[in-house]
């Protein structure tokens, strides 16, 4: 059986929604992603990790798939929404790590991302140097 560990709902929602809700900012997000992947991720690897962790988190806690913060609200209203979500679902949830995470060398992954960012997306764009 795989071990689980409790994580703040705010950290989990920082992975499953577009909003950075973790009260510890990127540190909270990173702690969750590193635990789930079992990898010592660099910040540029967080996006790929979040893409792979989101479905697993929603499988573990199905209500997360529909739990989205309101759009176009100020920070105070966003955090009021978070407090209500914590009241309804708990301040922490048990999280199980991924079993199929694929490690990539962080330096190679960064170079790949830079290369992809420089690719032209249409023929009408001038090449980037």
pLDDT tens by residue, 117-127:
666 666 555 55
φ and ψ at 13, to 5 degrees? -65, -25
- Write out pLDDT tens, residues 40-95: 898 888 988 999 999 999 999 999 999 999 999 999 999 999 999 999 999 999 99
Contact 29, 22 (CB under 8 A): yes
pTM of the model: 0.79
On whether the CB atoms of residues 12 and 84 are closer than 8 A, the answer is: no
Domain ranges of the chain: 5-100
Task: Please give the structure tokens belonging to residue 38.
Answer: 């079992």
């Amino acid at each position: 059986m795989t071990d689980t560990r409790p994580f703040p709902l705010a950290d989990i929602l920082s992975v499953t929604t577009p909003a950075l809700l973790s009260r510890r900012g990127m540190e909270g997000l990173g702690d969750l992603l590193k635990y789930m992947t079992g990898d010592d991720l660099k910040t540029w690897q967080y996006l790929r990790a979040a893409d792979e962790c989101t479905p697993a988190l929603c499988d573990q806690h199905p209500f997360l798939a529909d739990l989205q913060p309101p759009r176009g609200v100020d920070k105070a209203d966003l955090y009021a929404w978070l407090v209500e979500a914590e009241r309804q679902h708990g301040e922490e949830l048990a999280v199980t790590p991924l079993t199929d995470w694929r490690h990539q060398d962080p330096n190679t992954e960064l170079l790949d991302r830079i290369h992809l960012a420089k690719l032209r997306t249409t023929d009408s764009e001038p090449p980037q140097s």
